[in-house]
A and B are shown apart, each in its own frame.
Chain A
Amino acid sequence: MIVPYLGGNDEKREAVLKGVRELMKIVVAMKQIPDLQQIRIRDRKPILDGVPLTFGKIDKNALEAAVQIKEAVNGEVVVVSVGNEELEDTIKEALAADADSSVMLIEDDIEKMDSAQTAKVLAELIKQVERYDLVIFGEGSGDNYSGQMGSRVAEILGLPQAGYVTSIEIDGIAAIVKRSLEDQEEILEVKLPAVISVAADLNEPRIPSVSKVLKAGKKPKEIFNLDDLDIEVCEALVATSSSLAPASNRKGIELKSVSELVEVLKSEASGGN
């Protein structure tokens, strides 16, 4: 049997025991990325100018997971994101998809920060959210997919974590999650507050209605820049010397019939003879 939410920290637990109905507070961290479908390659260089910014697909799964929990246990979802001046616009995607409020850090050149720097800033932003119970990430961002952020932030916040999660249930003071590895699934009990990274495709993110899109801009938001936060961001620990599309010299020959196809398969697809 699933026990209802009983609070993610001692203070909340005490309140619940006294009969106060506490809201479960779920933070979702989302990354603003260029829309990958619209990136063109010229001279092997990816052209990012004019490409609209959006949230990664797996981040949208993370948000949907959070919203489903809030609907099940009486909670509240706060979206946290670090991005450039367009973030105020991008964040509306999340607010329209039923997040309740947002906390943003807006800086130019933010895309130049590496994982360690971003983690530090993101953790600081999450600390601005009072008394959160759960922090949810996607397993990897849509662009870099390096999968470090959830783990780094969990370490900074000193919280337990579980990655590649495909289901989440709240059970009293813990989350019961399923972690999906290559060769096995684990059912884990993780004490709240905790950091969870969800696997891609664990759910189908909702498509917001037009009226929700219109109302998204009116939801509460807090905006910070680096000077507002009392942190020192270290130098980048990772240097990128090049980022180019791989060279390709494919033949590009059109086959007009099944017999031409069979010809090609027989000559080319039989161990290279």
Chain B
Amino acid sequence: MAGVMTYSNNTALALELLTAAGLMGQEVKALSINNEQQAQELKDAGASVYEVTGEYSAADTNMVAEILKQAAAALGVDIILLSSDRRGKELSGRLAQKLNAGCLTDIKAIQVNGTEIECERNALGGAAIAVQSIKSTKQVLAISPKVFKQAEPAGDGSINNYAVEETISAVSVKEIIPKSTDSVDIADADVLIAVGCGVQTKYNLPAVEAIAQSLGGLVGCSKPVATDWKWFSEERIIGLSGKICSPDAALILGVSGQVQFAVGVRGARVLISINSDENAPINSMADYYMVADLNDVLPQLKDAMS
């Protein structure tokens, strides 16, 4: 039986892929490109690591896909697991096309039935969950962050050096600008407070923060609140193009509940919504909803909770 190869340039995600690969009942080979520390961490998690070093630019999707294609052929693997972060998603289509492989991205769950790998992903903008599998021999599967736990340290790992043919790049990096990253991850929140456009003014945020604090929760937001209003970093976005959260409780403030948002909180055990519009879609998917103006409710709630 052919094997499974994993690759992500993000080490945390590469470790998650090892866990996913473990489900497939096949030999697992972990590829690592120009990242000695990652190779070591994957080895410590018990993986057979193949480390590629050379003049490769991670920014050149074609080049990375070419390395993966060559490695897959040399290592005799049919299934390639990638991370479905931005880098991984861009890579997956290019690699799949090189291999004439079927490809699924943003995979939220995997079920292995014998030789078939059934994957769940959102469809119709999140309105539905599709169960899909790939029919071609070669398969490229890009798995969403945090679907699997990172592989724990284990024995029996190894690092092998692996050489590939160099290719010419038509993409050059002129500058890299780090983004300031959050120290918290809303995907880990037990209690999640979601700020939507209905919060209306920044003057309401201190009350939201105070309520979050009294509930021991983290504050996330709908997409326009981060991308248009810039109240929060994009890491705080809940939903299809942000974080999928499954908190114990979610308090949703002034979010209409379009599908792309709703997929991000569907996993909450309890969903509570406050919205001035009785017919907002979010109310029909809530356990508790309150029809009210947040400008009135937030100060009162803050006082009552403190």
Q: Encode A229-273 as 1/0 by CB contact (under 8 A) with B.
A: 000001111111111111010111111101111101100111110
A151 with B91: CB separation less than 8 A: yes
In the assembled complex, the CB of B166 is this many whole angstroms from the nearest CB of chain A, namely 16
B304 with A188: CB separation less than 8 A: no
A152 with B123: CB separation less than 8 A: no
In the assembled complex, the CB of A231 is this many whole angstroms from the nearest CB of chain B, namely 14
The reply on B134 being an interface residue by CB < 8 A is yes
Quick one: given A143-B124, A161-B90, A184-B179, are A179 and B96 in contact (CB under 8 Å)? no
Quick one: given A188-B171, A268-B270, are A258 and B90 in contact (CB under 8 Å)? no
Give the contact stretch, choosing among B15-23, B151-159, B284-292: B284-292
In the assembled complex, the CB of B203 is this many whole angstroms from the nearest CB of chain A, namely 19
Q: How many residues of A contact B (CB 8 A)?
A: 81
Inside 8 A of A146's CB, which chain B residues have their CB? 103-106, 121
Q: Encode B238-252 as 1/0 by CB contact (under 8 A) with A.
A: 001100000011010
Subset of 5 A-B contacts with CB under 8 Å: A147-B106, A150-B93, A245-B129, A246-B129, A258-B300
The reply on A41 being an interface residue by CB < 8 A is yes
Q: Encode A180-213 as 1/0 by CB contact (under 8 A) with B.
A: 1111111111110010010011000000000000
A163 with B61: CB separation less than 8 A: yes
Interface hits, B91-132 → A, CB 8 Å = 91-94, 96-98, 100-106, 118, 121-125, 127-132
Bound together, the chains give a CA A98 to CA B124 distance in angstroms of 28
**Which of these, B87, B131, B251, contacts A265 with CB under 8 Å?**
B251
A185 with B125: CB separation less than 8 A: no
Inside 8 A of B98's CB, which chain A residues have their CB? 155
The reply on B54 being an interface residue by CB < 8 A is no
Bound together, the chains give a CA A85 to CA B62 distance in angstroms of 35
Inside 8 A of B178's CB, which chain A residues have their CB? 183-184
B249 with A269: CB separation less than 8 A: yes
In the assembled complex, the CB of A112 is this many whole angstroms from the nearest CB of chain B, namely 13
Residue of B nearest to A237 (CB): B102
The reply on B172 being an interface residue by CB < 8 A is yes
| With A189-B171, A191-B170, A254-B290 already in contact, 20 other A-B pairs whose C-beta atoms are closer than 8 Å | A46-B127, A115-B93, A115-B103, A145-B106, A147-B90, A147-B93, A148-B105, A151-B96, A161-B61, A161-B62, A183-B178, A184-B179, A187-B174, A190-B171, A242-B130, A255-B288, A258-B300, A265-B249, A270-B191, A272-B269
The reply on B133 being an interface residue by CB < 8 A is yes
Bound together, the chains give a CA A197 to CA B191 distance in angstroms of 35
Q: Encode A138-177 as 1/0 by CB contact (under 8 A) with B.
A: 0000111111111110111001111110000000000010
B248 with A148: CB separation less than 8 A: no
**Which of these, A150, A185, A237, contacts B101 with CB under 8 Å?**
A237
Interface hub of A162, A236, A237, A269 (most chain B Cβ within 10 A): A269
Bound together, the chains give a CA A246 to CA B98 distance in angstroms of 34
Residue of A nearest to B130 (CB): A243
Inside 8 A of A148's CB, which chain B residues have their CB? 92-93, 96, 103, 105
Interface hub of B89, B98, B176 (most chain A Cβ within 10 A): B89
The DSSP consensus for interface residues of chain B is mixed
Interface hits, A34-57 → B, CB 8 Å = 34, 36-37, 39, 41, 46
Residue of B nearest to A238 (CB): B102
Bound together, the chains give a CA A11 to CA B106 distance in angstroms of 41
Q: How many residues of B contact A (CB 8 A)?
A: 87
Residue of A nearest to B175 (CB): A187
The reply on A129 being an interface residue by CB < 8 A is no
The DSSP consensus for interface residues of chain A is mixed
The reply on A119 being an interface residue by CB < 8 A is yes
Bound together, the chains give a CA A30 to CA B79 distance in angstroms of 30
The reply on A114 being an interface residue by CB < 8 A is yes
Bound together, the chains give a CA A179 to CA B90 distance in angstroms of 11
Inside 8 A of B65's CB, which chain A residues have their CB? 155
Inside 8 A of B86's CB, which chain A residues have their CB? 163-164, 180-182
A270 with B90: CB separation less than 8 A: no
Residue of B nearest to A143 (CB): B124
Bound together, the chains give a CA A202 to CA B301 distance in angstroms of 36
A147 with B287: CB separation less than 8 A: no
Residue of B nearest to A197 (CB): B90
Quick one: given A151-B92, A188-B174, are A261 and B290 in contact (CB under 8 Å)? yes
The reply on A116 being an interface residue by CB < 8 A is yes
Quick one: given A241-B118, A269-B270, are A185 and B177 in contact (CB under 8 Å)? yes
A262 with B301: CB separation less than 8 A: yes
**Which of these, B170, B258, B291, B304, contacts A254 with CB under 8 Å?**
B291
B290 with A255: CB separation less than 8 A: yes
